Structure 1
Amino acid sequence: MSIGLDLGTSGVKALAMDEHQNILASAGAALTVSRPHDGWSEQEPADWIAATEQAIGALLRQIDPASVMSIGLSGQMHGATLLDAGDRVLRPCLLWNDTRSHAEAAKLDADPAFRAITGNIVFPGFTAPKVEWVRRNEPEIFAQTAKILLPKDYLRLWLTGEHVSDMSDAAGTGWLSVADRDWSERLLAETGLTRAHMPRLVEGSDVSGHLRPELAARWGLSEGVVIAGGGGDNAASAVGVGVVKPGTAFLSLGTSGVLFAATERFHPDAAAAVHSFCHALPDRWHQMGVILAATDALNWFAQVLGLSPEVATRDLGDLQAPSRTLFLPYLGGERTPHNDAQVRASFLHLGHDSDRDAMVCAVLEGVGYAIRDCRDALASTGTRFDRLIGVGGGTRSDYWVKLIATILDQPIELPVAGDFGGAFGAARLGMMAATGQGAELAVPPRTERVIEPDRMLTGAFAEGHARYRTAYQTLKLLH
């Protein structure tokens, strides 16, 4: 049996999988985010431990703990967890959607070495500019920093006592030579760091350590439980849905929106604001377009209306031609393709006929247009796919999936009911580490149904997307 742990932004999920990859049980615990200033987003690492204890405890009450042979890890990427020489946390973790370090990111990105070595723009959400912000604004904290860990790797430290990360998560720091799958001492030096500040690197399907005996005894697990390298949340989710070969991709409609395509080689194009990262499996890479607010945008607007998202979207009916009203979903800035930390969301072209449903449709369309931006950015680098799998909470809305399929002019496959996200991918990586098996375990789930685009409306939505792109340029002039 293998356990997958997924440290998300809003909670920790624990999932148990048997040797046939059947999900036996799952459990979770909630987390909250602190936003003390505009653009800031933080969590206390101690809260991750408490939530993981709660989730694991609930999970183990549903299964036979003695049957567990491995644990895989998945987690939110890019967070800066700063530890002193005694592994004490020095400050709250700056999260993936924290954009305070936009000036530091621009400074690092102006150094050609960063794009040349990492293959990526230095986004404000990446780890390196966050640590640079700490160096400039909290020098006493920076001076005490002995180790820098990503969020899931802080859980690993608690589980194993080891400072280790995997290639997929490390690729999002801004310090990794992605082609070489190793830390770049040149880039570390640019931010006042050395290799000693960094965790040891392993592949996601490798053994990263073993469960500490005291935790094994407390939970009733056998000694020597393997802890796999695991992966960043999207790479682990890709393993969960079997997106490990070129030509396959998945669309995740979660808090953020992700369009993730597997590639067999590293072929970056930083100017497109596409993420080019290591996959969680050896000798594989991926490209990814990311928007910062997907279901987050719908949840925000539903809260403004005083409704649940389900009620807000309940009466939309069949897909109609695009709304004249536009919504640009940049609640906390945007990544692909704009790399703009300061832009903010906006409604445009509101009129007397802009009722609640029209504005809800505009929010859903705005997210769809932002996903189209990601698809176009990937295509500009030569990355294309003929199979697109939809996952995440937003895919529970047939209206929204139909809308995005029409905007992309691409069928979207919805898998059979089940959890194929980061926790499941982490459990698969745990099984790979424990058994020595590899990508053959990462098979796609069966497709329950395919949502086809409405080709009577693809032209209208293409025109809507063109208006959306023009609106962004207008909005950019205003901020």
Structure 2
Amino acid sequence: MSYVIGIDLGTSAVKALLIDREGRVRGEASQSYPLIHEHSGWSEQQPEDWVESTAAALQEVLRSSGLSREQVEGISFSGQMHGLVLLDADKKPVRNAILWNDTRTTAECREIERELGDTLLGVARNPALEGFTLPKILWVRKHEPEVFGLSASFLLPKDYVRFRLTGELYMDYSDAAGTLLFDVANRRWSEEILRAFDLPAGFCPPLVESHALVGVLLPGMAERTGLAAGTKVFAGGADNACGAIGAGILSEGLTLCSIGTSGVILTYENDKESDYAGKVHFFNHGQVDAYYAMGVTLAAGYSLSWFQNTFAPEESFGELLKGVGEVKPGAGGLLFTPYLVGERTPHADSQIRGSFIGVDGSHTRDHFARAVMEGITFSLAESVAVFRSAGKKVDRVVSIGGGAQNPVWLQMQADIFNAEVAALENEQGPGLGAAMLAAYGCGWFDSLAACADKFVKRASAYQPQPEAVKAYEGLFDIYRQVYAQTRGMNEALAAFRG
């Protein structure tokens, strides 16, 4: 039997997932690497750390599986989006990579808005935010001119790792969509945007489909990874695109809710003209000629982790939440906004901070815990509201991550979203999506959808409860007022937070 490996290059670690032809996980391994924070708001990594850790993870997963190297037919990738890897003419990095969560580029974002005007949303389909790639390029050019003078091209994180494995430079459409240099609807680098910032066309790598074969392992990298030199290497996709593939979000009417440290609401799109006016992100999918719209809550699972670490550091999540199901929807009139580190959707605001509203003497810790869970879900529901206001149908949601581990939270999502919500039997996240791209690229299936039918299994679904839906509709209306009511106060408090 042959196998494929999905490689998920995350912010803190890389994970290798070994999958057989039935979609079963036959092995997994991970390797961590450090973050570099030289200044407040800066977040960098050394690209070579990714390469070394990926090679080690591949070697470990093959060794622990007991398989021979020849049994691994192909590998593919999921990767953290937006990160900037600048290469010189010899294709070597000229500095550390600047990551998606780096916030130094506010001035460059305003420059992009002034220069591009309506072209920004009309072509790139996304607002200028600090996390995206173009602001990072402009920052390096302005603040490190000698370094930028050495730069001949750029890659995103997973693309650099894949380049080191194969010697071939490529970028897939789903990751290119997060650079602000890409014409999302027409699937090409934007000549207009490149010209506006005096960047040559050759600065951008060639574009390919996520399932495209882009090379085989170089002999030296085969030796380092333990895989065969002829192992096929496929392009892969952005982490959220691969997360959608791994959850089977491959057709109209399906929406993904992912609650990790941050939270994501992602809905499948097949119409390149869908227009959300920049209120949510609009990116190319890993599936051919498909797209997805996506909203982000910055402190989703992080809000619950903060609550646990602050008020119940000695308890497990299970112990912390065991009484939440006894509290009725609405947490006894207690409301929480999860703006602990600012917010992304629909309020791109780095100054806003979280609130508990309506506290009284009757509230217990269980009320507070339920309010935190409800507030996280309300924040995600704001993205659902954006989708629906644009005419999008959201009636079936696949939930993954921390929010899918608790039955009370799954029912809460169904009630707040007013949609059917289902978890997965075999949740493996973006790594599974990457493995599915490799399986499709190897010809195991004639489509990603056929692969999902085999690899992705949904668990029982939760249906919205009419009484809870009605209660949450009223509370959601109040929740949506909190941002505007507290924005000025948080701006005034910013100096004291320092």
Query: Normalising to structure 2: TM-score of the pair?
Result: 0.90
Equivalent residue letter for 2:19? M
The aligned residue for residue 273 of structure 2 is 267
Residues 106 and 122 of structure 1 are in contact (CA less than 8 Å); yes or no, is this contact kept in structure 2?
Answer: yes
Instruction: Kindly state the Cα deviation for residue 408 of structure 1 after the two structures are TM-superposed.
Output: 0.8
Q: Give yes or no for the alignment of 1:232 onto 2:238.
A: yes
Aligned: 1:432 with 2:436? no
Residue matched to 1:344: 353
The whole-number CA distance in structure 2 between the counterparts of 1:167 and 1:127 is: 14
- Cα offsets for 1:122-162 (capped at 9, x unmatched): 22221112222223333333233222211111211221122
| Aligned alpha-carbon RMSD (Å) | 2.2
Aligned partner of 2:264 in structure 1 is 258
Once residues 236 and 319 of structure 1 are traced to their aligned partners in structure 2, the CA distance between those partners, rounded to angstroms, is 36
Tell me which residue corresponds to 1:457.
468
SS of 2:324 mapped into structure 1:
coil
| Aligned twin of 2:93 | 89
Amino acid in structure 2 at the alignment position of 1:53? A
Among 84, 90, 97, the alignment partner of 1:80 is 84
SS of match in other structure, 1:290:
strand
Residue aligning to 1:15: 17
Counterpart of 1:59 in structure 2 is: 61
Equivalences for residues 199-348 of structure 1 within 5 A: 199-305=205-311, 306-307=313-314, 308-318=316-326, 320-323=328-331, 324-348=333-357
Q: Distance in 2 between matches of 1:269 and 1:102?
A: 25
Contact 2:217–2:228 (CA under 8 A) maintained in structure 1: no
Residue matched to 1:47: 49
Q: Secondary structure at the match of 2:467?
A: coil
Give, as a single letter, the amino acid of the residue that structure 2 aligns with 1:12. Answer: V
Cα gap change, 1:211 to 1:237, in 2 (>3 Å): same
Q: Name 2:486's counterpart in structure 1.
A: 475
Aligned equivalent of 1:415: 424
Counterpart residue type for residue 125 of structure 1 = G
Describe the shift of the 1:32–1:373 C-alpha distance in structure 2 as closer, same or farther (beyond 3 A). Answer: farther
Query: What CA distance in whole angstroms lies between the structure 2 residues aligned with 1:23 and 1:96?
Result: 29
Q: Of the candidates 358, 367, 377, which is equivalent to residue 358 of structure 1?
A: 367
Secondary structure of the residue aligned to 1:46 is helix
Please point out which of 29, 32, 54 is paired with 1:27.
Answer: 29
Asked if the contact 2:55/2:225 (under 8 Å) is kept, the reply is: no
Q: Aligned in 2, Cα 1:309/1:431: closer, same or farther, shift over 3 Å?
A: same
- Of 142, 145, 155, the residue aligned with 2:148 is 142
Q: Secondary structure at the match of 1:72?
A: strand
CA distance, structure 1, for counterparts of residue 214 and residue 291 of structure 2: 20
Which of the residues 403, 406, 415 maps onto 1:397? 406
Distance apart, 1:302 and its partner CA: 2.0
Is the contact made by 2:395 and 2:420 (CA closer than 8 Å) also made in structure 1?
no
Unpaired stretches in structure 1, ≥5 consecutive residues? none
Higher CA-based Rg: 2
- Displacement of 1:423 in angstroms is 0.8
- The one-letter amino acid paired with 1:460 is A
- State the shift of 1:355 in Å: 4.3
The secondary structure found in structure 2 opposite 1:13 is strand
The DSSP-based 3-state class of the residue aligned with 1:288 is: strand
From the superposition, tell whether residues 408 and 204 of structure 1 become closer, same or farther in structure 2 (CA, over 3 Å): same
Q: Which amino acid aligns with 1:441?
A: C
Q: What letter corresponds to residue 190 of structure 2 in structure 1?
A: S
Pair 1:116-2:118 in alignment: no
Q: Within 1, Cα distance between the matches of 2:82 and 2:195? A: 19
1:180, distance to aligned residue in structure 2 (A): 1.2
1: CA distance between counterparts of 2:241 and 2:259?
15
Q: 1: CA distance between counterparts of 2:446 and 2:219?
A: 26
Secondary structure of 1:317 counterpart: helix
Contact 1:115 / 1:121 at 8 angstroms: preserved in 2?
yes
Q: Which amino acid aligns with 2:419?
A: Q
Deviates more, 1:238-247 or 1:84-93: 84-93
- Once residues 376 and 39 of structure 1 are traced to their aligned partners in structure 2, the CA distance between those partners, rounded to angstroms, is 31
Judge which range, 70-79 or 27-36, deviates more: 27-36
Aligned in 2, Cα 1:66/1:375: closer, same or farther, shift over 3 Å?
Answer: same
What secondary structure does 2:436 align onto?
A: helix
Q: Which moved more, 1:162-171 or 1:331-340?
A: 331-340
**Shift of residue 424 of structure 1?**
0.9
Return the alpha-carbon distance in structure 1 between the equivalents of residues 52 and 310 of structure 2.
Answer: 31
- 1:184 is aligned to 2:190: yes
Q: Which amino acid aligns with 1:471?
A: V
* Structure 1 residues 424 and 37, CA gap change in structure 2 (3 angstroms): same
Note closer, same or farther for the CA distance 1:361–1:136 as it changes in structure 2 (3 Å cut). Answer: farther
Aligned length: 478
In 2, Cα distance between the equivalents of 1:41 and 1:220? 31
Task: Tell me, in whole angstroms, the C-alpha distance in 2 between the residues paired with 1:222 and 1:105.
Answer: 44
> Which residue number in structure 1 is paired with residue 495 of structure 2?
none
The letter for the 2-side match of 1:133 is: W
Residues 164 and 332 (structure 1), Cα distance of their counterparts in 2 relative to 1, 3 Å cut: farther
Identity of aligned residues (%): 37
Letter in 2 for 1:140: E
- Tell me what 2:451 maps to: 441
Contact 2:121-2:278 within 8 A present in 1 as well: no
Distance 1:150 1:453, change over 3 A: same
Query: More deviation in 368-377 or 441-450?
Result: 441-450
In structure 2, relative to structure 1, the CA distance for the partners of 1:286 and 1:85 (3 Å cut) is same
CA contact (8 A) 1:121 1:270 kept: no
CA distance in 2, matches of 1:37, 1:464: 40
3-state SS in 2 of match to 1:456:
helix
Deviation at 1:298? 1.6
Q: Which amino acid aligns with 1:344?
A: R
Q: Measure the CA separation in 1 of the matches of 2:411 and 2:39.
A: 37
From the superposition, tell whether residues 162 and 311 of structure 1 become closer, same or farther in structure 2 (CA, over 3 Å).
Answer: farther
Give unmatched runs, 5+ long, in structure 2: 492-498
Displacement after TM superposition at 1:322 (Å): 1.4
Contact kept in structure 2, 1:205 and 1:438, CA below 8 Å: no
